[in-house]
């Protein structure tokens, strides 16, 4: 998958996310079903934290001068919400109550950092030749780090829609 296609998927998924958030009240954004569940606001916090961490990892991976010869990892399993994944401590949300505008600003800022990093890459094929170690998935090519951002976001879109279904 080319970077241009991935950029399109990043945009489409983010547009869908912003659409899902549009018109939600402060209470709807911050309401938790129970103490074990995240609110929509917390899901969005998790998405921004993860994206910012991925940008750091991609930048570190780009500093490597050695080509990587590792196999592509299938990432579609991330979409299966029946398989619960525990977020690493560093990517977990806080209990902070956030307003709609603040959530949107954070989402926009983390995406801006990603685009700034991707736009500095002269030869996008380098993303398929360099890797960085993921704390859960181990060795991952940088292109997979980028691709997994929108797949991860799609996973959490399902979660947000489940939360919204609970409002009815």
Pairing of strands 138-141, 131-134: antiparallel
Domains present along the chain, CATH in parentheses: 3-165 (1.20.120.450)
pTM of structure: 0.93
pLDDT, tens only, 26-83: 999 999 988 889 999 999 999 999 999 999 999 999 998 888 878 777 787 788 888 8
Check if the beta carbon of residue 21 is closer than 8 Å to that of residue 162. Answer: no
- DSSP percent split of the chain into helix, strand, coil, nearest 5: 60, 5, 35
What is the model's pLDDT at position 83? 83
pLDDT > 90? residue 8: yes
């Amino acid at each position: 998958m080319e970077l241009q296609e991935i950029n399109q998927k990043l945009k489409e998924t983010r547009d869908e996310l912003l659409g899902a958030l549009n018109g939600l009240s402060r209470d709807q954004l911050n309401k938790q079903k129970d103490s074990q569940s995240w609110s929509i606001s917390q899901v969005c916090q998790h998405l921004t934290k993860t994206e910012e961490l991925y940008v750091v990892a991609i930048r570190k991976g780009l500093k490597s001068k050695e080509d990587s010869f590792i196999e592509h990892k299938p990432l579609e399993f991330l979409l299966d919400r029946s398989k619960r994944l525990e977020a690493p401590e560093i990517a977990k949300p806080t209990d902070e109550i956030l307003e709609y505008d603040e959530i949107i600003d954070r989402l926009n800022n983390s995406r801006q950092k990603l685009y700034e990093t991707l736009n500095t890459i002269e030869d996008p094929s380098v993303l398929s030749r360099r890797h960085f170690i993921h704390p859960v998935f181990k060795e991952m090519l940088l292109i997979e780090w980028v691709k997994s951002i929108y797949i991860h976001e799609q996973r959490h879109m399902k979660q947000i829609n489940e939360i919204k279904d609970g409002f009815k």
